[in-house]
Amino acid sequence: MHKSGFVNIVGNPNVGKSTLMNTLVGEKISIITSKAQTTRHRILGIVNTPDYQIVYSDTPGVLRPNYKLQESMLNFSESALSDADVLLYVTDVIEKTSKNEEFLHKVQNTEAPVLLLINKIDQTNQKELEDLVIEWQKLLPKAEIYPISALNKFNVDLVKKRILELIPESPPYFEKDALTDRPARFFVTETIREKILLYYQKEVPYAVEVVVEEFKEEKDIINIRALIVVERDTQKGIIIGHKGLALKKVGAMARKDIEKFFEKKIFLTMYVKVEKDWRSRDNLLRQFGYRLD
């Protein structure tokens, strides 16, 4: 008997969805930073054993759209509600239960079983956690509630066990050696984006899109050329930095991670280009892989 199913991870920004996904998959599929809106696309992470295939999907946090880009991000999160065998609704011990009532209402009305995961319990105490559990029980009476710490891997095995019980008998949806549906280039762009989010301040990282223009694998080395797209000349200056030092540093950090991921030597060149207001331009968003309706 073989089991297979789609397990979708939803919730507000910054509650730990990507951390959880990586813990569940056991690989760094999704980038993680302390900044909201780190995850922009829907990303699949696949776990295979001879007996089952679980297809996790990490989504951008739910938010109210300001830009076209954010509308597309919200679409990814809402579609995750409709095609799940199991829904993991992630919250944490910090956010208020009333943070996003509209989305909560949609979660209440999904047919899939819902596991409500209260993350970051390393940041609270017994009493506060118990009160929070009671509050959530009232709001989502049908959900099963699990307090977890994705970072410390606390209770994550328990969640995994429950997921395995809930997914249906089914042949696999993807090849049994697949780790993700994303092409190699995607990990390059995401890794560079992660380093940019970590290295630069304020608005700059949000105005950045990364495009891998060349990915050439040779016997001992992979040659990669990446383009960093920004919205304004001033941002270009900031990304490059005095004497190019900032970009050099980001490149070095990214290269280290990419080498680890592919277990191969990497030659990485990066350059910066201005595309005025790309976050509001349909054709550019499509070109960057965002779905617009």
Q: Which residues bind ligand GDP (CB under 6 A)?
A: 13-19, 32-34, 38-39, 61, 119-120, 122-123, 149-152
Tell me which H or E stretch contains 109: none
Q: Is 8 an interacting residue with respect to Mg ion (CB under 5 A)?
A: no
User: Could you tell me if residue 120 is left (phi over 0), alpha (psi between -120 and 50 degrees) or otherwise beta?
Assistant: left
One-letter amino acid of 95: E
Nearer to ligand GDP, 102 or 220 (CB): 102
13, 74, 136, 139 from 33: Cα distances, Å? 11, 19, 26, 29
**Which residues from 35-94 bind Mg ion, rule CB under 5 A?**
38-39
Report, in Å, the least distance between residue 188 CB and ligand GDP. 19
- Picking from 112, 100, 99, the residue whose alpha carbon sits closest to that of residue 142 is 112
Nearer to ligand GDP, 41 or 120 (CB): 120
Report, in Å, the least distance between residue 19 CB and ligand GDP. 4
123's contact among Mg ion, ligand GDP, none, with CB below 5 to 8 A by partner kind, is ligand GDP
Report, in Å, the least distance between residue 121 CB and ligand GDP. 7
Total number of residues that touch Mg ion (CB under 5 A): 4
Nearer to Mg ion, 5 or 61 (CB): 61
DSSP 8-state symbol, 110: -
User: Could you tell me if residue 108 is left (phi over 0), alpha (psi between -120 and 50 degrees) or otherwise beta?
Assistant: alpha
150's contact among Mg ion, ligand GDP, none, with CB below 5 to 8 A by partner kind, is ligand GDP
Task: Pick the binder of Mg ion from 4, 8, 12, 18 (CB under 5 A).
Answer: 18
**Which residues from 173-232 bind Mg ion, rule CB under 5 A?**
none
φ, ψ of residue 194 to 5 degrees: the values are -60, -45
Q: Is 119 an interacting residue with respect to Mg ion (CB under 5 A)?
A: no
- CA–CA distance, 44 with 29 (Å, rounded to integer): 8
75's contact among Mg ion, ligand GDP, none, with CB below 5 to 8 A by partner kind, is none
Nearer to Mg ion, 53 or 57 (CB): 57
67, 203, 249 from 6: Cα distances, Å? 29, 34, 38
- CA–CA distance, 83 with 101 (Å, rounded to integer): 21
- CA–CA distance, 293 with 171 (Å, rounded to integer): 32
Tell me whether residue 77 is exposed, middle or buried, using C-beta atoms within 10 angstroms of its C-beta: 0 to 12, 13 to 18, 19 or more: buried
149's contact among ligand GDP, Mg ion, none, with CB below 5 to 8 A by partner kind, is ligand GDP
14's contact among Mg ion, ligand GDP, none, with CB below 5 to 8 A by partner kind, is ligand GDP
Nearer to ligand GDP, 151 or 166 (CB): 151
Task: Answer whether 159's CB lies under 8 Å from 26's CB.
Answer: no
Report, in Å, the least distance between residue 248 CB and ligand GDP. 25
Residues making contact with Mg ion (CB under 5 A): 17-18, 38-39
